[in-house]
Amino acid sequence: MSVNEESGAIVFIVDDDASVRDSLRWLIESVQLPVRCFATAQEFLDGYKSQQTGCVVLDVRMPGLSGLDLQEELQQQNFVLPVIIITGHADVPMAVRAFKSGVFDFIEKPFNDQHLIDRIQQAIEKSRSQKVSIQRRQDARDRLQKLSSREKQVLDCIVAGCSNKTMARELDISVKTIETHRANLMSKMEAGSVSELVRIALLAERGTE
């Protein structure tokens, strides 16, 4: 079993031309990457699970939803699967729309096989990285949910850089009580230091580390 199969990364091919799907499948599977093929964008949307990692390789011109329509739909649904568009009918407005909608790459036919494989590998690594980031953010939010309303107030003050005395005065409680809340915060947020506590809090609130 390949590393990609063990990690669950899949290359999704979306193209209404069966011969193109078969050609791309052969190329991608030649480097031990798992592949799933779909004839339409809607068929892909119906079969894709948001937790899957990998990338999408698709054509622009397809019946129903076009490749660009699919990319924009993925954006709207907050799917983080990188998209590589392959087309033999490129023009500047199309390329601009593609990159504005967040495509990973826009490749014109005829293309170099090795270049496509390289970009697919890079897209998969991006997908894995995004999945890890999403999991970290969710873990941080889960920890934040453990806090009481008072502990959240203390946490907000810590993030703002307030001293214990300042927090005690603003929250109208004793310094000793503040110290107790801080200790509880460190435990519930699973933080080994104040800097780590702040990092987790920012990750939970803003999605940034």
Q: pLDDT (tens digit, 9 = 90+) per residue, 126-164? A: 988 888 888 888 899 999 899 999 999 999 999 988 999
Domain count of the chain? 2
CB of 86 within 8 A of CB of 71?
A: no
Model confidence at 37: pLDDT above 60: yes
CATH of residue 168? 1.10.10.10
Model confidence at 91: pLDDT above 70: no
User: According to the model, what pLDDT value does residue 118 have?
Assistant: 95
Domain that holds residue 49: 3-134
Whether 153 and 127 share a structural domain: no
Q: What spatial distance separates the first Cα and last Cα of the chain, rounded to whole Å?
A: 34
Q: Of 109, 134, 159, which closes a domain? A: 134
CB of 86 within 8 A of CB of 57?
A: yes
pLDDT category, 90, cuts 50, 70, 90?
A: low
Round to whole Å and give the CA distance between 209 and 200: 7
Question: Is 177 domain-assigned?
Answer: yes
Q: Of 103, 134, 165, which closes a domain? A: 134
Q: What is the mean pLDDT of the chain?
A: 85
Model confidence at 209: pLDDT above 60: no
